[in-house]
Amino acid sequence: MTLALDARRRAMLEEMGVVLFEHPAHSGDMHDTPPAPPRRAGGTADLRPARADAAPASAASLLPPDDAATQSAPVAARVRLPGIEAMDWDALEQAVAACRACKLCESRRNTVFGVGDRQAEWLLVGEAPGENEDLQGEPFVGQAGKLLDNMLGALGLNRHERVYIANVLKCRPPGNRNPQPEEIAQCEPFLRRQVELLRPKIILAMGRFAVQTLLQSTEPIGRLRGRVHRYHDVPVVVTYHPAYLLRNLPDKAKAWADLVLAQSVLRGEA
């Protein structure tokens, strides 16, 4: 355990909108003792909005998380590869790469399977690839990815160790439009198998479509935050999508509180 925050983590926390005022007697290490939620009056920690010059979002969902509207359109009957429930990681990745179960296969450049540690305790679930993700075949690149990396860094994590990142949809919706129900229904078995293979200790559901898919709930994120939910017996904590946070900077502090809750659940403290 270190006696004070190192400069790198402090910078990451500040990017997250968290400004720490360490009490003279404070000796907590970020990894072992994450900052508490806001205590503006007389506490040792304060959560403030970060700077307002972040770049615009590029990920798939740019709507406020409380917007309950979804798009729907007929889709031709398509066939997904059978046997997903028995696939190992490599077979599953190949199945996604070959998948033509919804019309997104026609416009994608790359499938975006997921990235990270296949023994991870943390599973972060976003919504769908954006333009950069479609180009690179990796989730959460670009500005939203940078913010997500900073969020992870503030907890002493990174996307390659103890963390796995996946999306509900593995292919980019054209023009970053919202995922459609038929697309989610076709793609969800891949995510479910990823959860089965990973067996994470905590899932962080980021954004409306991740939350709706995992929790089968249309309640606004604002009402689902701060509680522990379940997806096939795995604890789930709900938070905002990083792309949304880029446009709603004051909510970064709420996202930080969600991360702290998720870490507490993982440690059996909540």
Nearer to ligand SF4, 85 or 269 (CB): 85
What is the three-class DSSP state of 122?
strand
Quickly count: other Cβ atoms within 10 Å of residue 109's Cβ: 14
Site string for ligand SF4, 185-224 (x = CB under 6 A): -xx-------------------------------------
- Answer yes or no whether residue 167 interacts with ligand SF4 by CB under 6 A: no
Choice from 12, 45, 59, 96 touching ligand SF4 (CB under 6 A):
96
Residue 133 and residue 113: Cα distance in Å, rounded?
A: 10
Sole window of 18-26, 60-68, 102-110, 239-247 interacting with ligand SF4 (rule: CB under 6 A): 102-110
User: Can you count the helices (H) and strands (E) in the chain?
Assistant: 9, 8
CB 244 within 8 A of CB 56: no
- 203, burial (CB in 10 Å: exposed 0-12, middle 13-18, buried 19+): buried
Q: Compare residues 99 and 154 and give the one whose CB is closer to ligand SF4.
A: 99
- 157 is a site residue for ligand SF4 (CB under 6 A): no
The site that binds ligand SF4 (CB under 6 A) totals a number of residues, namely 14
Which residue among 183, 210, 214, 243 contacts ligand SF4 (CB under 6 A)? 183
Using CB under 6 A, which of the segments 30-38, 96-104, 150-158, 247-255 binds ligand SF4?
96-104
- Which listed residue (169, 198, 203, 236) binds ligand SF4 by CB under 6 A? 169
Distance CA 111, CA 123 (A): 19
CB of 102 vs ligand SF4, minimal distance in Å = 3
Give the 3-state DSSP-derived string for 16-47, with helices as H, strands as E and coil as C.
Answer: CCEEECCCCCCCCCCCCCCCCCCCCCCCCEEE
Alpha helices per DSSP H over the chain? 7-15, 89-98, 131-136, 142-154, 181-198, 208-215, 221-224, 242-247, 252-266
From 12, 60, 101, 204, residue interacting with ligand SF4 (rule: CB under 6 A): 101
Give the nearest distance from C-beta 152 to ligand SF4 in angstroms. 25
Contact status: 184 vs ligand SF4 (CB under 6 A) = no
Give, as one character, the DSSP assignment of residue 57: P
CB 75 within 8 A of CB 99: no
- Closest to ligand SF4 by CB, 179 vs 235, is 179
**Applying CB under 6 A, which of residues 75, 105, 197, 228 lies at the interface with ligand SF4?**
105
Q: Verify binding: residue 150, ligand SF4, rule CB under 6 A.
A: no
Radius of gyration of the chain (CA): 18
At 28, list the tokens: 């907590």
Compute the C-alpha angle 253/256/261, nearest 5°.
Answer: 130
Q: 96 or 243: whose CB is closer to ligand SF4?
A: 96
Residues near ligand SF4 (CB under 6 A) are 96, 99-102, 104-105, 111, 169-171, 183, 186-187
